[in-house]
Amino acid sequence: KKKKGKYSIAESYLQRALEIYERNFGPNHPKVAMTLNNIASLYDTQGKFSEAEPFFQSALQIYETTLGRNHPDVADSLNNIAILYKAQGKYREAEPLYQRALQIYEKTYGPNHPYVADSLNNISLLYISQEKYSEAEILIKRCVRIREKCFGPDHVQVAKSLENLAEIAFAQGKHSKAEKYSQKVQEIYDNQSKLNE
């Protein structure tokens, strides 16, 4: 009940911010899109997918119109909608949005940027959900390489990717490979906890 009350308070603040931005900047401004995204995310967090989608779609439309179809904020919006679709099991609808976001990130930041790694991770998780393990494995291995290059081999982001590789290996019945990945993950978390002591 407490959480529900906080969501409704947050929603009222976001709706008020939306009104202010629309009044001061017009309905097609990036600040309006950002607020629409925030409202959608609030609904998404509560599992209110049908309420979230129109806000995400409106934000995407504003970003495409004002910033261009290949702007990183467009990619972020595409990812938001794809995540929403994935949560609902709408894999066919999610995949082209994830792919387009990946293309934008690669074009904007280059092939070895953390946003590219995040995109690869998202697509691989989509494939894992559909039991497309070979496709997922290719993407997640590329994700690991990027994250190792950007953050170093003992970073938590690398561990998260290796967890996905362990899950894929286990699902394919490659238990010794899964165990190897799991051990590496544990080593990374152990090293991180020592650093935080």
The confidence score (pLDDT) of residue 26 equals 95
Q: What is the value of pTM for the model shown?
A: 0.89
At 193, the pLDDT band (50, 70, 90 cuts) reads confident
Would the pLDDT of 146 be above 80? yes
Measuring CA to CA, how many Å separate 114 from each of 46, 121, 163, 174? 28, 10, 17, 28
What is the per-residue pLDDT for 4? 67
